[in-house]
Amino acid sequence: MEKMPVIQVFALGGTIAMTPCASSGVTPTLSAADLIRAVPDLMGMAEFHAETLVQKGSANLTFELISDLCRRAEASSAQAVIVTQGTDSMEETSFLASLLYKGDAPLVFTGAMRSSDQPGADGPANLLDAARVALSAPEGSVSLVMNAEVHDPWHVAKEHTSSLQAFISEHGPVGTVVEGGVIWRGAARTGLGYECERPAPVALVSAVLDDDGRQLDALPSLGYEAVVIEAYGAGHLSEIWADKAARLTEHMPVLLASRARAGRVFEQTYGYIGAEIDLIGRGLLPTGGMRGRKARLLLSLLLGAEKQNWKQVFTTIVKSV
């Protein structure tokens, strides 16, 4: 008899693991083994190894935990690894994993928008799809699977609080699960295998109408080592914010991202004070097509790894996004 592949499942909590509790609402109680047991179709596909690392809402997940998860996945002898977790932070955790992971087994993140007690709970279908993707994804890849779509962690974002179609990739999904098979339409993201013991604290602030920018003034005294500013549109700030951001560059790296949902930060179009040409000329570093929260993680890792040439590495990476 042919030997079945082995899939390692690490569970971190989230709605996929949630059940109603006596006092109020749903909370994460299901283990990795419970999640696998709830999907009989998984049985013929692979041998599953289950481990529950934490049972938490995903806002509690940390850089350290994702780093530890990657090391465990790299050490596992399984052919593929699935991570189940909350959807709230999955666009960030899967992105971070794609920076840190250097294993061969494909790493696939999944979760659920509806808890196990709700009609139409999507956890079982997502886990089944994740297993299908895990067995067909390229070696060393990191992807996110939700609602029968495979997403590149670099481009995906949770765009809706409750829809099953909450996850949207700016350039569309890289794959789709159809009739039990996976149709790949784009390249899967390969883990970069960076190492970082101590991520640097990097703040993320968003520009908003008629604000005096006092957050920017406070940053140096708060211990932040860098800041990502989510500017208007293609990279635009008020004149007050522009002056404050420029002054901040004397203390720390200041990244220029956009608060818009999609599109690149410009570098050479608008010429007024506070627009991208002015800001870049005054030392802000544009994040290309990378969203602010992902640029924050990348910078945190590069500064934490004490890469002397962090600016060059950062610029090269974001140019391609």
- Binding region for ligand ASP (CB under 6 A): 14-15, 57-58, 86-88, 111, 113
DSSP state of 65: H
| 81 contact partners, CB below 8 Å, separation of at least 6 | 7, 8, 9, 10, 73, 103, 105, 106, 107, 108, 134
| 163 contact partners, CB below 8 Å, separation of at least 6 | 113
Residue 172 in contact with residue 179, Cβ under 8 Å?
no
Closest CB to ligand ASP among 74 and 149?
149
Rounded-to-integer distance, Cα 148 and Cα 128, Å: 10
Closest approach, Cβ 30 to ligand ASP, in A, equals: 12
| 185 contact partners, CB below 8 Å, separation of at least 6 | 172, 173, 174, 175, 176
Closest CB to ligand ASP among 15 and 258?
15
Closest approach, Cβ 56 to ligand ASP, in A, equals: 7
Closest CB to ligand ASP among 12 and 216?
12
In sequence order, the β-bridge partners of residue 151 are 144
Closest approach, Cβ 304 to ligand ASP, in A, equals: 25
Closest CB to ligand ASP among 25 and 44?
25
Closest CB to ligand ASP among 115 and 287?
115
Q: Nearest residue to ligand ASP, using CB?
A: 86
Closest approach, Cβ 113 to ligand ASP, in A, equals: 6
Closest CB to ligand ASP among 106 and 111?
111
Residue 50 in contact with residue 91, Cβ under 8 Å?
no
Closest approach, Cβ 14 to ligand ASP, in A, equals: 3
Closest approach, Cβ 15 to ligand ASP, in A, equals: 3
Closest approach, Cβ 148 to ligand ASP, in A, equals: 17
In sequence order, the β-bridge partners of residue 285 are 255
Pairing of strands 26-28, 181-184: unpaired
Q: Which of 185, 211, 192 lies closest to 141 in space, CA to CA?
A: 192
Residue 265 in contact with residue 235, Cβ under 8 Å?
yes
Closest approach, Cβ 95 to ligand ASP, in A, equals: 15
Closest CB to ligand ASP among 86 and 292?
86
Angle, in degrees to the nearest 10, between helices 90-100 and 292-304 = 40
Closest CB to ligand ASP among 58 and 94?
58
Rounded-to-integer distance, Cα 73 and Cα 189, Å: 16
Pairing of strands 107-110, 26-28: unpaired
